[in-house]
Amino acid sequence: MTQSPAPPLPSPKERRRLREAKSLSQADVAAKLGVTRETVRSWETGRTAPRGRKRGAYARLLTAPDQATPADVEDEAGPGPGTEAEAGTDVTTRQEPVTEAEAEAAPERGGESQGESEREREREREPDPLPPPPPPLTPPQAFDALYAFCTPALVRQTYLLTGRRELARESVERAFQLAWHRWPEVAVDRDPAGWVRATAYEHALSPWHRLRPGHRHPEAPPADPADRALLDVFLKLPPIYRRTLLLYDGIGLDLPDTAAETEASTPATANRLLHAREAVAARLPELAAPDELHRRLTVLATTERLRAAKPRSVRYGSEHRARTWTRAAIAFTVLLVGATSLTLHTAADHYEPPMAPGAQVRGLPPRAAPGPLSDEQLELHVFLKSQTVSGPERLVPETR
């Protein structure tokens, strides 16, 4: 679906016969492929089969023709002219009589010819000069090469995970924007394509997309009824089951690589894979075989024509996004510093004791409700105004 098709493997009996024909033991094959001897034995018995990169390496190891060594080629071709001369065998014999001048000049000519033949053999033994290595790629060129290699397949994979074309394109572009932002880290990664794939899957399967207005309604399904049924069953799986099934049966990763990318243990990944296969087989019995499921997923992904943005626009979007977030962070920092400075400037810098509660003044009647004054109140009002003292106008009640 997303990578080149897996190379065909011989039958289990033929694997063992080819190994024995090359005079290799199971331990030799295990050492060459970086696996255990029990794994090679299970491959030859048919209990398991290699997947991913190990499948291609195992197929090449079994089917590659044996290369003859240079010594064997020389033995089959027979001794060369130089060998005959060194062995002292006469290739031709002179029938004409040799004169004295020719006899004197013969050793000199023989020495010259022998020196020329030795120089020719030395020139033949010298290795051909290697062509100059190509200049190293610049970071933009390396990024563009990775983008062109991974994007077509990655968009289709993300579409299978989400069932949404726009979200698939957005997730892939966001993953590559983050990859360009962290390019010094991604460039030295052992699997840059896997790094970008994991980032795109995380963004595509984020639950926050449910809150977006454009994602409240599903997109148009595929036109083919079989593809529509498979996509419907696939999208009803839990996200982690969907991702595990896509990595193992869709892309062709082996179980340890799938477990590492989903951040789970190998037994847990195997259980998720089995449950996902059972759920798909319960709805679509014709897809019970893993090979048939892989083929149908490949067909479903390739029928969609999904295009992504140009790598230059992705790099520009990543840089623009980084500048925007940097400016926002600077503005927020300035606002926080300004608020802190204003708070320090207006805050109290000394202790102010609280005001004591008021005490009741004796000799005054309690305050009445609003309304006309009574006779007693009018009399008291006239009395108080007549008792003013020197100084500011202030009433000083006297006790009676």
Average pLDDT of the segment spanning 22-27? 83
The total number of structural domains that make up the chain: 2
CATH of the domain at 50: 1.10.260
CATH of the domain at 270: 1.20.140.160
> Which residue among 302, 320, 355 closes a domain?
302
> Which residue among 256, 277, 302 closes a domain?
302
Tens of pLDDT, residues 44-73: 888 788 887 888 888 888 887 654 433 333
pLDDT for 388 equals 59
Residue 147 lies in a domain: yes
**Which token pair is 124?**
């033949």
Cα separation, 217 vs 209, in Å, equals: 12
Residue 68 lies in a domain: no
Quick check: helix, strand or coil at residue 282? helix
Segments forming the whole domain that contains residue 57: 12-63
Whether residue 187 is found in the same domain as residue 279: yes
Cα separation, 317 vs 310, in Å, equals: 11
Whether residue 34 is found in the same domain as residue 167: no
pLDDT for 141 equals 92
What's the pTM value of the predicted model, to 2 decimals? 0.56
Does the structure show a pLDDT above 60 at 84? no
> Which residue among 23, 44, 63 closes a domain?
63
Phi, psi of 136 (to 5 degrees): -65, 150
- Tell me which of 19-23, 80-84, 291-295, 348-352 is least confident: 80-84
Does the structure show a pLDDT above 50 at 105? no
Whether residue 45 is found in the same domain as residue 163: no
Residue 132 lies in a domain: no
Residue 387 lies in a domain: no
Residue 253 lies in a domain: yes
Whether residue 48 is found in the same domain as residue 192: no
pLDDT for 290 equals 87
Average pLDDT of the segment spanning 324-341? 95
Tens of pLDDT, residues 163-214: 888 999 999 999 999 999 999 999 999 899 999 999 999 999 998 888 888 7
Residue 213 lies in a domain: yes
User: In 3D, which of 232, 146, 136, 156 has the Cα closest to residue 201?
Assistant: 156
pLDDT for 27 equals 84
Top-confidence residue, 3 or 216:
216
- Residues ≥6 apart with Cβ < 8 Å to 346: none
Does the structure show a pLDDT above 90 at 272? yes
